[in-house]
């Protein structure tokens, strides 16, 4: 057992020397006063441990004892100075500490010189008189560190607590060694004390140089919270302003800082936390040493995310500083996404305003022109010759096209503003389809054949009749327009499984696969060599789908390029009809081909 005690004590000495060397190297790399104070404390402790190995306990050397005494007291005082660098002591408190240090050294010198041989009780009292000042020098900082750690991020909190634990354990060991007296001659007790002293070294070491694996373990509890916050920040922040405010809040919290701000690429303070914008702007111009700034690489230049570090960040916040750099990159990407979103919203808003302005400003003149053209055609302004009548007819057709365009623009603007009011009434979908066919029948020519397939039973729906007729007419006119070579156009009405469906199929040019994404968008036109000469605004299908969805339905499309397309309008059946359709009584089993509507049939028969 005695040999084990010797080995344990030797290992403790080696460990303290290694600890002193590690902090000395760290101070060499970072010449800050804070690091210097901690290095002084640990190096002097290592010196005390080394000198103790050369001391003869039976016949102690006075010079070695005096050096050990001074080094021991100075080590504790360095801990207090380390605390003073982080959180300054008052002038009176620091003065009292110097007085206590001097008094403790004087008492120690008296003990070493005058009380080499003394009674055990007196030796214990003198020992307590020596270690109590040291316990005060180290005890007050470690208690403050432990309490302050409760408000810090996980890694900083763990590092401060390990530092407090290491010095706290050392205080306990010293008091046990002094009070224990002769009982420490027991090998088992001596071994336990040596092992406890050995445990102090790794505890203090990980406080200023924790391994990466240990840091990762410490921050596991916090990572999920930070990840959720980052997801909320990047995905659900409505504007750049909101995103910047959330970002700087989490930056301050993640760093354990006192305040922070985000600066845009133009030098404007975008958001702050714990500091007013004027002060933030001043700090951006003239940074403090206690401020850490991570760059934000934005499209328009370089911004910054700056935090005013807390008292413990410079020494214990290296992990958080590394995290802040990656966090700043994510925030920069989020700010750019928000900028693009805001610009797109502004563009969409401008489009809507343009639609409103253009449509309403054009409506008046077009109405006047339409009236005069009608008067010309009717002869109210005098009889026209054949060429005049033909010109008036062409003008009437063009005015009609212009009027339809204006109505589409007004309807699109209403949809964007949520101003569309539907007048849903009980209707037979077959009648609405027939009415839509009557509207588009003048567009048919000898190259097209229109086939209409409807069930014999009524297809009951609760819909806006006029707008649904507009949808069907739009789909039919598109089928005709995009079948320039002619072919069969089929309009089929079905009622099945609670849905009414109007399918319009053509044998035209079809839709390329890469054009499907823009097919139903506002102003979305698919320009190909086959369609570039065809007129259109790109509003028709957009309005058709939006109006269908407002009525609880939708429009789907299936197309093969070069072979044709099939557009299907789906609308919910009325309650009674829906029940019948589910039972099968409303299915196409009782369907028959109806006579073609007047006008359409004649053209189809000529095909």
Query: What digits encode the pLDDT tens for the residues 552-606?
Result: 999 999 999 888 999 999 999 987 555 555 554 444 433 334 333 333 333 333 3
Per the model's pLDDT, the better-predicted residue between 279 and 226 turns out to be 279
Whether the pLDDT of residue 317 is over 80: the answer is no
Q: What is the pLDDT of residue 593?
A: 41
**Fold match flag (220-420 vs 424-606):** no
What mean pLDDT comes out for the span 11-32? 89
Q: What is the pLDDT of residue 116?
A: 60
Is 1.20.120.1200 the CATH classification of the domain at 220-420?
A: no
Q: What is the pLDDT of residue 491?
A: 95
Q: What is the pLDDT of residue 252?
A: 84
What mean pLDDT comes out for the span 98-120? 80
Per-residue pLDDT band at 386 (split at 50, 70, 90): confident
Cβ atoms 562, 548 nearer than 8 A: no
Q: What is the pLDDT of residue 531?
A: 65
> Could you count the other beta carbons within 10 Å of the beta carbon of residue 372?
14
What is the distance between the alpha carbons of residues 381 and 375, in angstroms, rounded to a whole number?
Answer: 6
List the beta bridge partners of residue 463: 425
Cβ atoms 426, 539 nearer than 8 A: no
What is the distance between the alpha carbons of residues 6 and 12, in angstroms, rounded to a whole number?
Answer: 10
Question: Where are the domains positioned within the chain?
Answer: 2-218, 220-420, 424-606
Q: What is the pLDDT of residue 182?
A: 63
What mean pLDDT comes out for the span 485-490? 90
Show the 3-state SS of 179-220: HHHHHHHCHHHHHHHHHHHHHHHHHHHHHHCCCHHHHHHHCH
382 burial via Cβ count (<10 Å: 0-12, 13-18, 19+): exposed
Domain at 424-606: CATH architecture: 2-Layer Sandwich (3.30)
Whether the pLDDT of residue 231 is over 70: the answer is yes
Domain at 2-218: CATH architecture: Up-down Bundle (1.20)
Whether the pLDDT of residue 420 is over 70: the answer is yes
What mean pLDDT comes out for the span 49-54? 85
What is the distance between the alpha carbons of residues 491 and 488, in angstroms, rounded to a whole number?
Answer: 10
Q: What is the pLDDT of residue 504?
A: 95
Per-residue pLDDT band at 77 (split at 50, 70, 90): very high
What mean pLDDT comes out for the span 17-33? 89
Q: What is the Cβ-side half-sphere exposure of residue 504, based on CA atoms within 13 angstroms?
A: 22
Beta strands per DSSP E along 368-437: 424-428
Q: What is the pLDDT of residue 204?
A: 93
Per the model's pLDDT, the better-predicted residue between 52 and 568 turns out to be 568
pTM of the predicted model as reported, rounded to 2 decimal places: 0.56
Per the model's pLDDT, the better-predicted residue between 397 and 144 turns out to be 144
Average pLDDT, the chain: 82
Whether the pLDDT of residue 414 is over 90: the answer is no
Whether the pLDDT of residue 290 is over 90: the answer is no
156's tokens: 């900083």
Helix (H) or strand (E) holding 100: helix 91-114
Q: What is the pLDDT of residue 426?
A: 92
384's tokens: 């026209």
What mean pLDDT comes out for the span 348-367? 72
Of 277-291, 379-393, 533-547, minimum mean pLDDT range: 533-547
What mean pLDDT comes out for the span 497-518? 89
Torsion-angle region of 564 (φ positive above 0: left; ψ -120 to 50: alpha; else: beta) = left
Q: What is the pLDDT of residue 589?
A: 33
Residues making up the chain, counted from first to last: 607
């Amino acid at each position: 057992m005695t040999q084990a005690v010797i080995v344990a004590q030797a290992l403790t000495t080696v460990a303290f020397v290694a600890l002193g060397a590690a902090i000395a190297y760290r101070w060499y790399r970072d010449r800050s006063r804070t690091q210097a104070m901690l290095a002084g404390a640990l190096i002097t402790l290592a010196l005390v441990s080394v000198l103790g190995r050369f001391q003869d306990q039976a016949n102690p050397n006075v010079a070695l004892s005096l050096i050990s005494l001074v080094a021991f007291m100075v080590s504790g005082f360095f801990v207090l100075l380390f605390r003073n660098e982080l959180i300054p002591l008052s002038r009176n408190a620091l003065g009292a500490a110097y007085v206590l240090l001097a008094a403790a050294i004087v008492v120690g010198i008296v003990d070493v010189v005058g009380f080499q041989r003394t009674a055990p009780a007196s030796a214990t009292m003198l020992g307590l008189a020596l270690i109590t000042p040291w316990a005060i020098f180290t005890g007050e900082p470690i208690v403050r560190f432990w309490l302050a750690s409760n408000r810090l991020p996980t890694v900083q909190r763990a590092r401060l607590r390990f530092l407090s634990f290491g010095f706290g354990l050392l205080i306990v060991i010293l008091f046990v060694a002094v009070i224990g007296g002769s009982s420490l001659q027991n090998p088992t007790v001596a071994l336990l004390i040596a092992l406890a002293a050995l445990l102090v070294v790794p505890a203090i070491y990980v406080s200023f140089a924790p391994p990466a694996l240990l840091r990762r373990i410490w921050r596991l509890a916090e990572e999920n919270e930070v990840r959720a916050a980052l997801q909320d920040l990047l995905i659900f922040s409505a504007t750049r302003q909101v995103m910047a405010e959330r970002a700087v809040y989490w930056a301050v919290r993640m760093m354990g800082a006192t305040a922070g701000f985000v600066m845009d690429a133009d030098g404007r303070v975008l958001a702050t936390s714990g500091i007013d914008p004027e002060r933030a702007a001043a700090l951006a111009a003239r940074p403090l040493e206690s401020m850490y700034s991570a760059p934000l690489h934005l499209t328009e230049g370089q911004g910054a995310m700056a935090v005013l570090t807390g008292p413990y960040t410079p020494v214990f916040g290296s992990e958080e500083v590394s995290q802040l750099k990656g966090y700043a990159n994510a925030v920069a990407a989020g700010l750019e996404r928000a900028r693009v979103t805001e610009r797109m919203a502004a563009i969409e808003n401008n489009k809507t305003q343009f639609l409103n302005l253009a449509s309403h400003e054009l409506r008046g003149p077009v109405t006047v022109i339409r009236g005069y053209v009608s008067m010309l055609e009717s002869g109210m302004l005098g009889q026209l010759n054949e060429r005049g009548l033909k010109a008036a007819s062409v003008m009437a057709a063009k005015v009609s096209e212009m009027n339809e365009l204006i109505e589409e623009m007004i309807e699109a603007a209403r949809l964007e503003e949520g101003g569309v009011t539907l007048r849903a009434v009980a209707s037979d979908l077959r009648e609405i389809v027939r009415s839509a066919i009557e509207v588009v029948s003048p567009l048919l020519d000898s190259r097209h054949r229109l086939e209409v397939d409807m069930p014999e039973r009524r297809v009951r729906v609760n819909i806006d009749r006029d707008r649904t007729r507009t949808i069907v007419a739009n789909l039919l006119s598109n089928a005709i327009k995009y079948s320039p070579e002619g072919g069969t156009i089929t309009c089929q009405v079905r009622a099945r499984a609670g849905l009414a469906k109007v399918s319009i199929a053509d044998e035209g040019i079809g839709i390329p696969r890469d054009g499907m994404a823009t097919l139903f968008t506002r102003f979305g036109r698919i320009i190909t060599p086959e369609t570039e000469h065809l007129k259109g605004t790109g509003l028709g299908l957009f309005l058709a789908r939006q109006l269908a969805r407002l009525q609880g339905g939708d429009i789907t499309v299936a197309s093969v390029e070069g072979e044709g397309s099939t557009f299907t309008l789906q609308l919910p059946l009325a309650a009674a009809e829906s029940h019948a359709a589910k039972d099968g009584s409303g299915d196409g089993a009782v369907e028959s081909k109806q006579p073609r509507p007047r006008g359409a049939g004649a053209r189809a028969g000529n095909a």
